[in-house]
Amino acid sequence: MSARTLYDKLFDSHVVREENGTALIYIDRHLVHEVTSPQAFEGLKLAGRRLWRINSVLAVPDHNVPTTDRSHGIADPISRLQVETLDQNCTDFGVTEFKMGDVRQGIVHVMGPEQGATLPGMTVVCGDSHTSTHGAFGALAHGIGTSEVEHVMATQCLVQKKSKAMQVRVEGKLGHGVTAKDIALAIIGKIGTAGGTGYAIEFAGSAIRSLSMEGRMTLCNMAIEAGARAGMVAVDETTINYVKGRPYAPRPEQWDAAVAYWSTLHSDEGARFDAVVELKAEEIEPQVTWGTSPEMVIAINGSVPDPAKESDPTKRGGIERALQYMGLEANTPIDQINIDKVFIGSCTNSRIEDLRAAAAVAKGKHVAANVKLAMVVPGSGLVKAQAEQEGLDKIFKEAGFEWREPGCSMCLAMNADRLEPGERCASTSNRNFEGRQGPGGRTHLVSPEMAAAAAVAGHFVDVRLLLN
């Protein structure tokens, strides 16, 4: 057999049937949250359909949950109804759900891997574009719409056409203070937000191999911001060590067979990719977005671009509109931009390693006077508990950060956490679209280290200066 890519192996091993290039692929794991599932459950009810395989589904409320005191439930009646609808649907259909108040509750893309519900070789879907996160495990994972959520619930399958395969290779050693988030933003800056459209991206190279699972999840999470529905990393010891012992991991008597199979989940030597993008780890610096699309990104020592220097009129118009929305002048050095709020959290950067890294920067310092709110929102109840065990909550609180309950929070501001119009935020989330963190809010995407550094400085600053 000819050399195959990891994507080939994952896709081909799930094809139930194929006709004229359209395949029916089998889905191993279906993660569900409250926003994109109610209409799917309703569709099943109306058609009198059941779930094809109940134990393939795991549900958790995350988008609408409050991150402050939860003893009185959800104040907003519309948010509350959506979460209650998920609870009711899970009861009606027999689906396992980690409800608000359960220590396992958290952002769906943090919860899945944490529970071992995401395993190498799986197909994983969820009605959420950041499902690409799970590809970090050598899985084929991507976001789907609500019609497809219903389709997977009813048939355990998805109608798919195979994507093209792209390899993004990052060789070398990352500098101190440079993270997986910076790799992700640097890649998007290079190929653009549509650069990966139509592709499944495999991240490879020595810099990727040396990332922890948390770092790989951050990277695959952002694959969708490069336009790719799926991102993935080959299985290695890091993957296997992370999975071992988790609640949904293979049982001891299944373990050796599982590991033997997982060890085949990498691109073969000489496998052909439709596109290859290469970056040198040493050249990647801490990144900050300046505009309203993740591709509008620059290194911390750069300046806001000047639209006058752009010759393409559509691009020039885009830069002008972004600068106007962001309230920024062309050519302003990035480290002279003051901020109003800081958000450390989201499915991109709310895992234990992210919180450790941010705490290391914040330790013994204090949030700057001009920063109205700096909040840390752990990705799950278990991340929160782990952080508290390590004393990270104390470090954050002593430095003037708020320490919150787990959920999506101000990444998309569906709950009460949001920016006011005109407020500027250093955010560890994944999208800096207009209004994403609240109408009129201005988002700058950064790593957890860079967000903590901005919090204590009151403006963007090269975290490497604080670490040295």
Partner 1 sequence: MQAFTQLNGLVVPLDRANVDTDAIIPKQFLKSIKRAGFGPNAFDEWRYLDHGEPGMDNSKRPLNPDFPLNQARYQGASVLLARENFGCGSSREHAPWALLDFGFRAIIAPSYADIFFNNCFKNGILPITLSAEIVDSLFKAVESTEGYKLVIDLETQTVVTPDSQSYAFEVDAFRKHCLLNGLDDIGLTLQHVDEIKAFEAKRKQAQPWLFN
Cβ 100 to partner 1 shortest distance, Å = 16
Query: CB-wise, 60 or 122, nearer to partner 1?
Result: 122
**Is residue 275 at the binding interface for partner 1, with CB under 8 A as the rule?**
no
Among 342, 357, 412, 456, binds partner 1 (CB under 8 A): 412
First to last CA, the chain: 51
Please give the Cα distance from 385 to 367 (Å, whole number): 23
**Is residue 264 at the binding interface for partner 1, with CB under 8 A as the rule?**
no
**Is residue 18 at the binding interface for partner 1, with CB under 8 A as the rule?**
no
The residue whose two tokens read 């099943």 is: 44
Q: Which of residues 155-184 bind partner 1 (CB under 8 A)?
A: 155-157, 159, 161, 163
Of 291, 317, 26, 23, nearest to 156 by C-alpha is 26
Q: What is the DSSP letter of 429?
A: S
Binding mask 119-138 for partner 1 (x = CB under 8 A): x-xx----xxx-x-------
- Ranges assigned E (strand) in 64-146: 96-97, 123-126, 140-143
**Segment near partner 1 (CB under 8 A); pick from 203-211, 254-262, 335-343, 379-387:** 254-262
Structure tokens at 3: 């050399």
Among 9, 33, 134, 151, binds partner 1 (CB under 8 A): 151
**Is residue 263 at the binding interface for partner 1, with CB under 8 A as the rule?**
no
Q: Which of residues 59-118 bind partner 1 (CB under 8 A)?
A: 63-64, 76, 78-79, 81-82, 85
Q: Are 79 and 414 in contact (CB under 8 A)?
A: yes
Q: What is the DSSP letter of 315?
A: H
Half-sphere exposure of 250 (CA within 13 A, CB side): 17
Q: How many residues are listed for the chain in this entry?
A: 468
**Is residue 154 at the binding interface for partner 1, with CB under 8 A as the rule?**
yes
Cβ 272 to partner 1 shortest distance, Å = 22
Distance of alpha carbon 178 from the chain centroid: 18
Please give the Cα distance from 452 to 189 (Å, whole number): 22
**Segment near partner 1 (CB under 8 A); pick from 193-201, 281-289, 298-306, 367-375:** 193-201
Query: CB-wise, 243 or 383, nearer to partner 1?
Result: 243
Cβ 446 to partner 1 shortest distance, Å = 19
Please give the Cα distance from 261 to 264 (Å, whole number): 6
Query: CB-wise, 86 or 387, nearer to partner 1?
Result: 86
Q: Which of residues 325-384 bind partner 1 (CB under 8 A)?
A: none
